[in-house]
Chain A
Amino acid sequence: MPNRRIKWYRNLPASFIVLFFVCLSSNIAAANRLNSHEPQVNIINSPTWVDMQTYTVADFVDLRSPAHYHLVDKQVSGVAGKQVYARFVYSLTDPSGIESNANIHIRFNPAYEVLNIHGIKVLRNNKVVNQLKRSDIEVINAEDRQNSNIYSGEVEAVVLLKDVRVGDVIDYSYTVVGSNPVFADKFSAGATIGWGVTVDKINVAVLMPSNRPLQYKLFRSDAKVKKQTKDTNTLYQLTLLDTAEIFEEDNIPSWYTPYPHVQFSEYQSWQEVASWANELFAVDKTPSPELVEFISNLKTKPLNDAIDEAINFSQNQIRYLGLELGENSHRPHSPAETFDHRQGDCKDKSLFLSMLLNELGVTASPALVSSVNRQHVNDYLPSHGVFDHAIVNIQLNGISYWIDPTVTHQGSKLVSKFQTDFGSALLVNPTSTKLVSAQPSLNNHSSIVVTENIIAADYSSAVEWRITTKMTGREADNLRYRLKSEGQVKLAKSYLNYYAKRYPNIESLDQLSINDNRGDNQITIVERYLVVDFWRLNAQQHAEFELQADFSSQYVQLPKSIKREQPLAIYPNISVEHKITLQLPEHIDFSTEVDNASYADQHINFDSQISNDRRLLIFSNIYQAKQDHVAVADVAAHLSLLNDIAKRMSYHNSITNVSQDPGIQSMQNLLKNLNQRRLATEQNAGE
């Protein structure tokens, strides 16, 4: 089964990976009322500029299963407008191959592109056994980002091949003609030249007028791009034979791709990209009467309050909605429109917020970033295609802030808002000439502190379990969002059910207590439970117990791919402290259990401690991420460290001779009586 890269590659109208803004996105078409352009699909011959490629089909027994790719051919012409030609030839060698490869999907945007299909052939014993008709082609909406409120206007031409059999060769080709005018004829494109399956022949070619030279760069490949002059044009070409199958390991950093690829760009510098962006963002900034009033109102407040209100309004009162049809895939809507409609995508909200802050006399500008590549944007050639997101850079009191106006439910003050580390950014302002560091100098770290107090009155009755969780940074933002969107009751239920996996008879003693200090961006949740199944009496009449200080375990999981050739991602900028205090009815000497262990490498720190105090046994684990990934050379040692850490997530012990205490039965009865009353009080309060 071809991996997702092949499938995606086949589906795009361009045969190259074109990195659009995520917030713009380019997936399934909007409903008709969103996109007024009628899709144009033609069945015509291949353009004459295309260099037809040959391929060979070996004997069936020598073919790979479930599909054998003979040829993947992508050719782009920038000579007379943009035309992107693609051709795929593959044999279906197994029924599972037919299932996944007998349907053809070709994506394009009818606002500025026309689809010319040259042929979709089914070859059997070297003979074409089908005839493509226009009626075979269905055009459907392709808005697969609508769950993220993004509508791009794209459509998919779909052909469901009939009578396809094992042994058939599928050979189809098409050209998507046209390009988004917002790119102002500046050429930028990329192509994958290695996939999760072997391909007999990959051909990539770009034909450009010679007076529009391209830069190109190869990633993870030793292939060479051949340049040759053809009349007044230049052809950039690379052909690869028998390309190796690429395995994508799990848990790789977002900025890392194992797939070899090539990037082409007409931009000679980041300054050129900045100029393009500046022109794009130069929309009409004339405010509407309502917006004028809003700004006037802001100006009456102390500056810091006004700044906070402007940001909070942009984040929480402007609905995130990407109507990215046509030029609006990259050109923002005017601030007045964003304000009046109370909706916008990342570039709309960034421009709107920047405008508001500028009106307050604050230096602020939109900034283009890549949520996938982060600081590795620097690795790519200058291009409009490397960015997928827009945020706002604010300069205030000597501090540079990086605020994302698409994030909701953040802390209420600029100085306490969590700032994502996007690594590098291109500012959209007249003085921007290069990428700048977008690493926040503050508030880019999140913390979780879990404090558990387990109080046991004896060694058999239910214990009272109090859990206090304090979150800051992104964790506080996420929890706040969850509280508001799910509601406290649902959250409490989910917590209870989570604990019930360990303690099936657990009961809640109190409603969740939530303290949201939005000014400092700290949320504290307090939970109280009665746990009947905490103690387990074993055959020797010892009361066994287990303490699990494992909140950080989600950050130290072993990946599926242990033997690795690709880096391992680490969730960055997080610290987690989990401390459990078990209070016993009497003092028990745990001094022989006292232990301090530290596990550290250059990527993470983990400190584990067992200590005791009067009537207390204390078990704590503190985890801290220091980097966002582990290099391949360090993976083996790091995974060995994770194995050691995993053993420190829980602590077991037992208390001896517990059933010999006099009054054990009467004590159990009394505690049961009191606990039932306590539970009844909680249930009445809930009603």
Chain B
Amino acid sequence: MSKAMLSRIKWTVVAMGLATLWACSSTKVNNAQATSTNVPNLAPAKLSLLQFNQQLEQELNQDPLSSLQSKIDVLSIARHLRLKHPEQYANPLNTAKVAADVKQQLISGMLDVSQTFSWHYLRSETFKDNSLAAYYRIDSDGGYSYVTLWLEPDSYQIYDFHSVSYAFSALDFVGKFSQLFTQYTNSQSQLNNLVKALQMNELDEAVRIYNNLDPLVKNDAALHDFLLRKYSQLPAENAKKLQTIVLANLEQPGKSSLLFEAHYIQLDNFAAAIKMVEGLPLFALQDSKMQSELAILHAYNRQFESAVSYGRQAILAEPNQREVYFVLLQVSFLAKDYGLSLALMDVLVAKFNYVMSPQVISEFEDGLSFIESGEYQSWLTQRMNS
């Protein structure tokens, strides 16, 4: 129900967004738009990192294919495969082939994303070993997720892709998964059969093979990442067959995946849903969407103080996004914290020029209780008199 509520809020925002004016004027150079304009049309090497990502964001949202062909470098992928997995990718020919495959998989994967989601560049981070990560949020009406694009520091060529839903990046997964077969030679045959069964969508057979695996193999992180990836590709009805074995891993301490947040929400197990979100890497966790997510989950878990705290964090993270105020407004209604409700409505009206009509308010859960409250009536009266 919560997921529906979250979707509903987002829908409301989107629908209402068409009727509002974006009233945040300033003489600062750029407004807070998700897409950026005025990016010089230069070759990547001459762009700053910010310019590169602004351009990439634009291209991913408009015409991703041509962009990705030129921005994903096979040589770079091959080099990093060798660096990460020197023993497995010592043979240059084999490595080149794998790298070419990976490039195609990356392109097709990112194209798939672009069809359903919009890309929003968050920021970049350079690590001590000089590796460079560009963090993106991918938005859809159904929700959000996050990816890391790993870039060459000098040329900004993309060589790896990591969705937060999985434990490993694409290159790490390729290396570690193929390592499974050399590491557990006694289970090679079973692993082959497992892969085959999953490819053929023989899910019951796949579960049977998995359950008969050696415990060491069963607990291997790469195997679980493989199962999770397979799970996420299946239609919902089929996916349920793999759910038990996938969840058994994710419910262990320190493990989580954003893929299953909705699953626990459906079960009203908000504590488990929270765990799925809290396992996100920091860049994603600190994003306004996830802070809002935690706000609403804590509210449904009747932890209103925490919910408000997360709602505050969401506002700090993205104060010019309407959605963060809507989510906290919903929290305030659930908590019956009408002082906070009014403060939020003041902002929605003054900053975003929203019309907070009773119809809009009633769309929120417990909105009717708020409408009937003395605080709202006083607020209305004040506004009418001013």
Contacts and interface: CB of A to CB of B under 8 A. Distances in A.
The finding on whether chains A and B are genuine partners in a shared complex, rather than unrelated, reads yes
Interface of A: 455, 457-458, 464, 585-589, 591, 594, 612-616, 655-658, 660-663, 665-667, 669-671, 673-675, 677-678, 681
Given A586-B32, A589-B30, A667 B347 contact: yes
Interface string B52-72: 011000000000000000000
B319 A614 contact: no
A73 to B, nearest CB: 62
B351 A663 contact: yes
7 contacts: A464-B316, A588-B29, A589-B28, A613-B123, A613-B124, A656-B26, A662-B25
A662 B23 contact: yes
Contacts, number: 108
Contacts of B29: 588-589
A661 B319 contact: no
Q: Which 9 A-B pairs have the closest CB atoms?
A: A663-B351, A663-B350, A589-B29, A586-B32, A666-B346, A457-B319, A674-B312, A666-B350, A585-B319
Contacts of B352: 663
Contact of A670 (B25, B31, B344): B344
B30 A588 contact: yes
Contact of A673 (B24, B26, B339, B349): B339
A457 B26 contact: no
B301 interface: no
Interface string B174-190: 00000000000000000
A681 B305 contact: yes
A661 B353 CA distance: 12
Contact of B312 (A458, A586, A667, A678): A678
Contact of B32 (A585, A665, A671, A673): A585
Interface string B341-366: 00110110111110000000000000
A663 B347 contact: yes
A678 B312 CA distance: 9
A587 B120 CA distance: 13
Contacts of B33: 587
A670 B346 contact: yes
B211 to A, nearest CB: 37
A673 B50 CA distance: 35
A588 B349 CA distance: 25
B49 interface: yes
Nearest to B27: A657
A661 B347 CA distance: 12
How would you classify the secondary structure of chain A's contact residues: helix, strand, loop or mixed?
A: mixed
A673 B319 contact: no
Contacts of B124: 613
A662 B351 CA distance: 5
Given A586-B30, A614-B50, A681 B24 contact: no
B7 interface: no
A666 B351 contact: yes
Contact of B317 (A455, A669, A678): A455
Nearest to A455: B316
Contact of A667 (B49, B54, B308, B351): B351
B123 A661 contact: no
A660 B124 CA distance: 31
B273 interface: no
A678 B309 contact: yes
**How many interface residues does chain B have, given as a range?**
35 or more
A586, A589, A594, A615, most chain B CB atoms within 10 A: A586
Given A457-B315, A585-B320, A591-B48, A657 B24 contact: no
B121 interface: yes
Nearest to B305: A681
Nearest to A577: B128
B138 interface: no
Contacts of A674: 308, 311-312, 315, 340
Contacts of A669: 343, 346
B122 interface: yes
A655 B29 CA distance: 10
A667 B319 contact: yes
Contact of A677 (B24, B26, B308): B308
B343 A587 contact: no
B28 A588 contact: yes
A405 to B, nearest CB: 33
Interface in B15-42: 23-33, 36
A346 B28 CA distance: 64
A279 B151 CA distance: 64
Interface in B175-213: none
A147 to B, nearest CB: 41
Nearest to B124: A613
B331 to A, nearest CB: 12
Contacts of B315: 457, 670-671, 674
Nearest to A671: B315
B80 to A, nearest CB: 24
B343 A670 contact: yes
Contacts of A656: 26-28
Contacts of A589: 28-30
Contact of A587 (B31, B312, B319, B349): B31
Contacts of B36: 587
Nearest to B31: A586
Nearest to A585: B319
Interface in B48-98: 48-50, 53-54
Contacts of A585: 32, 319-320
Contact of A586 (B28, B347, B349): B28
Interface in B298-316: 305, 308-309, 311-312, 315-316
A586 B26 contact: yes
A593 to B, nearest CB: 12
A244 B215 CA distance: 83
Given A588-B28, A666-B346, A670-B343, 13 more contacts: A457-B315, A585-B319, A586-B31, A586-B32, A587-B36, A588-B29, A614-B122, A656-B26, A663-B346, A663-B349, A666-B350, A670-B344, A677-B312
Nearest to B38: A589
Given A455-B317, A613-B50, A669-B343, A661 B24 contact: yes
Contacts of B122: 614
Contact of B347 (A464, A591, A666): A666
A78 to B, nearest CB: 60
A173 B159 CA distance: 83
Interface string B215-233: 0000000000000000000
Contacts of B353: 662
B123 A616 contact: yes
A661 B25 contact: yes
Contact of A657 (B28, B308, B319): B28
Nearest to B23: A662
A87 to B, nearest CB: 63
A666 B158 CA distance: 43
Contact of B48 (A594, A657, A675): A594
A613 B51 CA distance: 9
Contacts of B28: 586, 588-589, 655-657
B352 to A, nearest CB: 7
Nearest to B121: A614
A592 to B, nearest CB: 10
A673 B48 contact: no
Contacts of B308: 674, 677
A585 B122 CA distance: 13
Nearest to B32: A586
Nearest to A656: B27
Contacts of B32: 585-587, 615
A594 B47 CA distance: 13
Nearest to A677: B308
B316 A673 contact: no
Contacts of B319: 457-458, 585, 667
Nearest to A613: B123
Contacts of A681: 305, 309
A455 B316 CA distance: 7
Contacts of B320: 585-586
Contact of B26 (A660, A666, A667, A670): A660
